[in-house]
Chain A
Amino acid sequence: MTRAPFDPSRIRPPEEPKTETSKLLTVSQLTALVQRAIQSALPATIHVVGEISNIKRHSSGHLYLTLKDAGAELSCVLWRSDAAKLKFTPCDGLEVVATGGVEVFERAGRYQLYIRRMEPRGVGALELAFRQLYQMLAKEGLFDAARKRPLPRFPRRIALVTSPTGAAVADMIRTIERRFPCVAVLVHPVKVQGPGAADEIAAAVRALNANSVALGGIDVMIVGRGGGSLEDLWAFNEEPVARAIFASPIPVVSAVGHEVDVTIADLVADVRAATPTAAAELVVPVLEDVVAELAALERRVRRSAENRFQFSASCFAGLLKRSPLLEPALKIRRREQLVDEFAHRLGRGFVTRLHAIRRRLDVCESAVQRIAPHVFLRGTARRLERIESRLNAGLSLRLRLGEREWSRICLRLFARSPEAELRRLTDRVEGLARRVPVGIQLRFTRLTEMVESRKSLLSAVSHESVLARGFSITRVKKSGAAIKSVAGLRDGQRLVTQVADGEFESQTVNVHQRELFDETCPREN
């Protein structure tokens, strides 16, 4: 048995009953019917238990609020006159017993409880839930200050976990763009209120961590939303969000509602920002500040390097001043010192020689004095003096010339530094030094010879004149010494006696010294 295939064209919609125009109701008519139905069905005074939320105090003084429990919400109004009679300040999360009557607010098409009296009833359920979760997570250490991580100073990529349509995301993006445009922003869209919002937020935090590397590395994330009622912000008070933030390796900044709103997410996050805009300011620096800081750092590195180089340069200059390797003048000065010393020694040599010659002249003079009469002696002495003064003049001229030569050499030594030049000069100096004494020596020898010849001439002249007058000179033949005394004479010594025209030999006999006043002493022939 087969079934015919399904053919929608063969299905006919059921015949719709025709509505008579007279049976149509306007919205106002229906609303009025609902109002009458409510008034007849409900007592004029009702007591309702519920938690206050979305409480708003209008500038007129009227209070608008919502009473709720886990399953339903009820709009409520508290007129100014009744609100003034309240003994406490009603606030969100507070569980209360409200007394009043239900009426329809035609313009909004909804029924409302017009509260005349209100009493608090313990603590609100959400408030209680918050406190319970807070205590549990605190005990587990989710709020520990030690766990908080510092935010990166210069993030490259920032993730925003928030509603893609809210004002919060716009505020955050605008703030980030204004302060630090060189950063990437990733928006992870989530539902931020209502059922399932907490799970979505928690999943987004986990997904961002899991995909961070694939997305190029997320440095920090902001989790949050703009302002709203406690109910609106409630997702951020739920455990899954707290756990996800706690487990996030990426640092998390929370930004939920306004300054006064503190949620569990705020307490777990690494940093709590008062508002989404404040969160954006916390995660990025101001670009101009960073640029200025960089410029300051650049100046610092340049200055420090310059200082370092200058220090090294002055060290080098100091070293240069001290280094003998880099100072050729010092070498020259050492040579100069040598030359000076040599010159000094050379000068001393001259003086020594001069003294020696003077001594010899003195010897000559005394010899002449011993031999010659005073006339001769004076004339000879004068001549000797002349000779001596000429000798002295010649010597000092030579010395002066030598000194001049030295100073010229020294000047040239100072003026010219190359070592070859120095060596050449030194050689020349040494050559001169060698030659100078030789020249002097020659001259001395000549002078000495001259003196000697004069001396012998003088001797000869003196002999002749004296001998011609009958005197004779007797000398010991062996030593040639003229005999002036018997002292030192022995018998039998050979003598040579010189007379004016010749000489003869004889021998000593009977040598004896004459006693004083001894008249009897025989005369020598």
Chain B
Amino acid sequence: MSKRKLTFEEALKQLETLTEQIERGDIGLQESIDKYEEGIALVRQCRDLLSHAEHRIQQLQQRDDGSLQSVPFKPPASTE
């Protein structure tokens, strides 16, 4: 597994894949244990991603060089 931090989608996909692998039973016991541990770690990782991601709303401003910088944004009142 790479060091790169997985996105939620990737983590979920991986979790599904390894669950199916264990379910099919075509891998060895040791590998099953490894996959199970990996799966539980992925579940934890997914939970972290869901709970720790902070909700940020920002407005973008165009700089002279065409790049964008973000500043805090307060949305106007909703009509609904």
Instruction: Render A98-138 as a binary contact track against B, CB cut-off 8 A, 1 for contact.
Output: 00000000000000000000000000000000000000000
Stretch in contact with the other chain, from A264-272, A295-303, A425-433, A440-448: A295-303
A to B contact number (C-beta, < 8 Å): 137
Residue of B nearest to A170 (CB): B78
Q: Known contacts A186-B60, A187-B57, A210-B66: does B80 contact A171 (CB below 8 Å)?
A: yes
**Known contacts A189-B59, A214-B68: does B49 contact A182 (CB below 8 Å)?**
yes
* Docked complex Cα distance between A215 and B60 (Å): 10
Min Cβ gap B66→A in Å is: 7
A153 cross-chain contacts in B, Cβ below 8 A? 9
**Chain B residues within an 8 Å CB radius of A181:** 55
**A185 and chain B: residue at smallest CB distance:** B57
Q: Is the CB of A182 within 8 A of B50?
A: yes
**CA gap between A515 and B25 in the complex, in Å:** 107
Which of B9, B47, B53, B62 has a CB less than 8 Å from the CB of A294?
Answer: B47
Q: Which residue of chain B lies nearest to A152 when distances are taken between CB atoms in the complex?
A: B9
Contact flags A306-337 to B (C-beta < 8 A → 1, else 0): 01110110000000000000000000000000
**B79: A residues at CB distance < 8 A:** 167, 170-171, 226
Q: Does B67 contact A (CB under 8 A)?
A: yes
A188 CB-CB contact with B under 8 Å: yes
The complex places the Cα of A207 from the Cα of B63 at a distance, in Å, of: 11
Q: Which residues of B contact A240 (CB under 8 A)?
A: none
Interface code B29-58, partner A: CB below 8 Å = 1, 0 otherwise?
A: 100110110011001001101111111111
CB of A291 to closest CB in B, whole Å: 7
A483 at the interface (CB under 8 A from B): no
**A277–B53 CB distance below 8 A:** no
Q: Looking at the assembled complex, report how far the CB atom of A403 sits from the nearest CB atom of chain B, in whole angstroms.
A: 51
Contact A164 B25 (CB under 8 A): no
With known contacts A164-B59, A311-B25, A305–B36 Cβ distance under 8 A: yes
Chain B residues positioned under 8 Å from A177 (CB to CB):
55
Beyond contacts A182-B49, A185-B55: 17 other A-B pairs, Cβ-Cβ < 8 A, are: A154-B8, A156-B7, A164-B59, A164-B73, A174-B78, A181-B55, A186-B60, A189-B59, A189-B60, A293-B12, A301-B22, A301-B43, A305-B32, A307-B23, A308-B29, A311-B25, A312-B29
15 CB < 8 A contacts A-B: A164-B59, A165-B76, A166-B76, A167-B77, A167-B78, A177-B55, A184-B55, A185-B56, A185-B57, A207-B66, A208-B68, A294-B12, A301-B36, A305-B33, A305-B35
Seen from chain B, the residues whose Cβ lies within 8 Å of a Cβ on chain A are 7-9, 12, 15-16, 18-19, 22-23, 25, 29, 32-33, 35-36, 39-40, 43, 46-47, 49-60, 62, 66-68, 70, 73, 75-80
Chain A residues in the interface with B (C-beta under 8 A): 152-154, 156, 159, 164-167, 169-171, 173-174, 177, 181-189, 207-208, 210-211, 214-215, 226, 277, 287, 290-291, 293-294, 297-298, 300-302, 304-305, 307-309, 311-312
